[in-house]
């Protein structure tokens, strides 16, 4: 049985103890993308600063949907190693896109609108949680929540068939993960985590060969972590639960 002390948090692989929350986890300690903001054009600088200073309000999701969506996002891309002041507002960014009806590049044929897909998907997740554990998703332990989401990843949810009959569960999973990852890595805190120096325009980059850092960058340092005991985070399985899905379900190649 997993140790309840961990509560879903990543652990130190040497000690097995949960990692403490940090202002800046990742492989580039003390790196600051915003230290370079004076080299960006005004429009880019204002856009980036707004992501930190003005969190968009929830306007698309109902309070109940937003609560459930937050719990879902916390397991798809956990931020347990970030302190409260540096958590990235993923749900707010997704909500803003849906409220403004911004299409994220494409929509699979046969899928409903992104707004409807997310509402249906949350209903489906709630039904799977009740079927598997007889509790609301938000009341489950992190590992049980991951077990629920794993059924969507594998394309085999044991409940909510009325939902998945209206849209592909695998395609909904791709939409959900893409929205979560897109919202996270659009934020400057995530740029610090991966050592991204921000927009190259208008200054540009000087050291294009040899892997050397720019003068304003820092060298990578090892960030030792491991998935919590019992978590599927350390495993890899193709979306859809079979080897035939090596990319996006329904895509036979690059078009």
Q: Mean pLDDT over residues 141-146, rounded?
A: 94
pLDDT at 189: 94
pLDDT at 4: 47
Residue 87 scores a pLDDT above 90: yes
Q: Mean pLDDT over residues 231-248, rounded?
A: 66
Residue 18 domain-assigned (yes or no): no
Residue 247 scores a pLDDT above 80: no
- Model pLDDT for residues 3-16, shown as the tens digit of each residue: 444 567 889 898 98
Residue 28 domain-assigned (yes or no): no
Residue 26 domain-assigned (yes or no): no
pLDDT at 245: 45
Residue 1 scores a pLDDT above 80: no
pLDDT at 101: 94
pLDDT at 177: 97
User: Where residue 241 falls among pLDDT bands split at 50, 70, 90?
Assistant: low
Task: Work out how many domains the chain is built from and give that number.
Answer: 1
Percent of the chain with pLDDT over 90: 58
Residue 248 domain-assigned (yes or no): no
Q: Taking a C-beta distance cutoff of 8 angstroms, is the pair 8, 231 a contact?
A: yes
Q: Taking a C-beta distance cutoff of 8 angstroms, is the pair 194, 28 a contact?
A: yes
Parent domain of 145: 33-234
Residue 14 domain-assigned (yes or no): no
Residue 104 scores a pLDDT above 80: no
Q: Taking a C-beta distance cutoff of 8 angstroms, is the pair 76, 149 a contact?
A: yes
Residue 127 scores a pLDDT above 90: yes
Q: Mean pLDDT over residues 191-217, rounded?
A: 81
DSSP string across the chain = ---TTTTT--B-TTT-PBPPPBSS-SS-TT--GGGGGGGS-HHHHHHHHHHHH-PPPP-SS-HHHHHHHHHHHHHHS--TTB-GGG---HHHHHHHHHHTT---S---TT---HHHHHHHHHHHHHHHHHHHHSS-GGGS-HHHHHHHHHHHHTT--SS-HHHHTTS-HHHHHHHHHHHHHHHHHTSHHHHHHHT-----TTT--S--STTPPPTT---------BPPTT-GGG----TTSSTT-SSSTT--S--
Residue 252 scores a pLDDT above 60: no
Name the more confident of 167 and 223: 167
Regarding pTM above 0.85, the answer is yes
Residue 196 domain-assigned (yes or no): yes
User: Where residue 242 falls among pLDDT bands split at 50, 70, 90?
Assistant: low
Residue 250 domain-assigned (yes or no): no
Q: Please state, rounded to an integer, the average pLDDT across all residues of the chain.
A: 87
Residue 3 domain-assigned (yes or no): no
């Amino acid at each position: 049985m997993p140790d309840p002390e961990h509560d879903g948090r990543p652990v130190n692989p040497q000690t097995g103890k949960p990692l403490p929350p940090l202002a800046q986890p990742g492989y580039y300690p003390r790196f600051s993308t915003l230290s370079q903001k004076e080299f960006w054009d005004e429009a880019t600088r204002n856009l980036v600063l707004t992501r930190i200073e003005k969190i968009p309000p929830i306007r698309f999701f109902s309070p109940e949907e937003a609560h459930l969506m937050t719990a879902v996002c916390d397991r798809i891309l956990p931020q347990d190693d970030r302190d409260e002041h540096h958590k990235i507002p993923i749900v707010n960014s997704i909500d803003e896109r849906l409220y403004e009806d911004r299409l994220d590049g494409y929509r699979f044929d046969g899928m409903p609108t992104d707004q409807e897909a997310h509402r249906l998907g949350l209903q489906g997740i709630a039904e799977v949680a009740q079927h598997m554990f007889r509790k609301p998703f938000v009341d489950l332990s992190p590992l049980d929540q991951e077990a629920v989401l794993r059924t969507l990843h594998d394309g085999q949810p044991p409940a909510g068939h009325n939902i998945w009959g209206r849209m592909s569960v695998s395609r909904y999973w791709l939409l959900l993960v893409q929205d979560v990852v897109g919202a996270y890595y659009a934020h400057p805190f995530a740029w610090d985590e991966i050592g991204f120096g921000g927009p190259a325009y208008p200054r540009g980059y000087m050291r294009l060969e040899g892997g050397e850092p720019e003068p304003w960058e820092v060298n990578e340092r090892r960030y030792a972590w491991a998935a919590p005991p019992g978590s599927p985070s350390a495993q890899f399985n193709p979306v859809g639960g079979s080897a035939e899905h090596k990319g996006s379900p329904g895509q036979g190649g690059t078009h």
